[in-house]
Structure formats: C-alpha cells, structure tokens
Amino acid sequence: MNAVFSGIELRDDIPILLNRLGLEGKGIEIGTQAGLYAQVLLGGSMLRKLCLVDCWDLVEENDRFRNDSAYSHEKLRELKRKAEERFRCEPRVEIVQSFAHEFSATVESESLDFVYLDAAHDEESVAQDLQDWYPKLRKGGVFAGHDYLNNEPWAPTYVKFGVIEAVSKFRMRIPDHEFYTTPEMIPSWMLIKP
C-alpha cells in the first residue's frame, strides 16, 4: 500500500488524504443529498471550492429507478432545501441541481483536484459516472466514491448495487493507478491520477 493512504480508515479521513497531497483547488461531490458528507469534506480539507451536484429528482427508466434513493419528490425537495440551508453562509460551496451526466458536459477537463462519486449505485450508472468524471480530474488529483459494494437488490427500488463491478472494470483501463479502499462497513474506494 502506498504510504499516502496510511491511516485513512474511514471516508471521513479523506480530507486528511487531500491535505497530505496538497490538494487545495476545486472538488466535487456527485450525489450530495442533504450535504452531510459535504460538511465533512469542507470541515477537514483545504479545498477552496466544493461543487455539490444532485438531481434531487427521480427518473424511472425501463421500470427501474436510476436514482436509487427511493424518496418521494416531496422528500427530495426537502433534502435540497436542507443542503441549501446548511451551506447558505459557506462561500466555498456551489450547489448545482442537475443529473450528473448532463452537468459533466459543462465541466472543463483536468480542472478538478477531487471527485467523489455517490449518486446512483447500479453498475451502469456508476460506469457512466466513472467515464464522465475521470477526465475532469487533474493529474495528482483524487478520484473516489462511496459504497464499494455489490449488494443484492432490496426494496423498495430493487436496485442492485454494482459499484465493485463498475470500478473493477474501469480500473482495467488504468492498471498503473494506486488504488485503495477504506476498511469500514461501507467502504469508499479511491485512486490517485498519476
């Protein structure tokens, strides 16, 4: 294991990793919900900007939800309001309501120091996020994501998590990248773009 990952045991330690690597530019969280993890990222890191992207919406495609949070429209509106209230006085935060794929087209290549994926968790959606967001990361930046799991489908949306499959397939294209997962119940994965 690369020494830079030593002691990174929880996703809440990721700000320590960013600080070790001297990453102080712009980060992005894809899938922010009410902003709880974004608060951890802001609290511990030196990032000058953190863009928070969430659709706060449901899309039903082929009888399945691409947004696996399974919340009603009303609940999603409330989560958005909470995120906005939480960061009202935080000049480092930019909140964007958009589907991740659509928004990625507006972001410059190699402009981000940190990308954290935590939106939809089915294999197809994660594969799309990996493909869309890796090019946005600058060299030396950290690419990471939550829920490194392959859970079986569960109610009410019956979405099968495919994060491990999607990330493993993606990694075959970039075998030289340092890769690490946090040793916790719900692991986060991460790699550094060389």
Ligand X SMILES: C[S@@+](CC[C@H](N)C(=O)[O-])C[C@H]1O[C@@H](n2cnc3c(N)ncnc32)[C@H](O)[C@@H]1O
Find out whether 105 and 98 touch, Cβ atoms under 8 Å: no
- 157 belongs to the binding site for ligand X (CB under 6 A): no
- 126 belongs to the binding site for ligand X (CB under 6 A): no
Strand pairing class (178-181; 189-192): antiparallel
Residues 22-41 that bind ligand X (CB under 6 A): 29, 31-33, 36-37
Stretch that binds ligand X, among 51-59, 84-92, 155-163, 171-179 (CB under 6 A): 51-59
Q: Judge residue 50's burial from the number of C-beta atoms within 10 Å of its C-beta, 0-12 exposed, 13-18 middle, 19 or more buried.
A: buried
- 120 belongs to the binding site for ligand X (CB under 6 A): yes
Minimum CB separation of residue 175 from ligand X in Å reads 28
Task: Give Cβ neighbours of residue 89 (< 8 Å, ≥ 6 apart).
Answer: none
What DSSP string runs through 88-123?
TT-TTEEEEES-HHHHHTTSPTT-EEEEEE-S--BH
- 10 belongs to the binding site for ligand X (CB under 6 A): no
Minimum CB separation of residue 95 from ligand X in Å reads 12
Q: What are phi and psi of 189, to 5 degrees?
A: -105, 155
Q: Between 3 and 105, name the residue whose CB sits nearer to ligand X.
A: 105
- 55 belongs to the binding site for ligand X (CB under 6 A): yes
Minimum CB separation of residue 6 from ligand X in Å reads 24
Q: Judge residue 20's burial from the number of C-beta atoms within 10 Å of its C-beta, 0-12 exposed, 13-18 middle, 19 or more buried.
A: middle
- 107 belongs to the binding site for ligand X (CB under 6 A): no
Residue from 4, 19, 24, 99 binding ligand X (CB under 6 A): 99
- 45 belongs to the binding site for ligand X (CB under 6 A): no
Q: Between 99 and 179, name the residue whose CB sits nearer to ligand X.
A: 99
Residue 169 CA, chain-centre distance (Å), reads 18
Task: Give Cβ neighbours of residue 40 (< 8 Å, ≥ 6 apart).
Answer: 11, 12, 15
> Residue numbers of the site for ligand X (CB under 6 A)?
29, 31-33, 36-37, 53-56, 66-67, 69, 99-100, 118-120
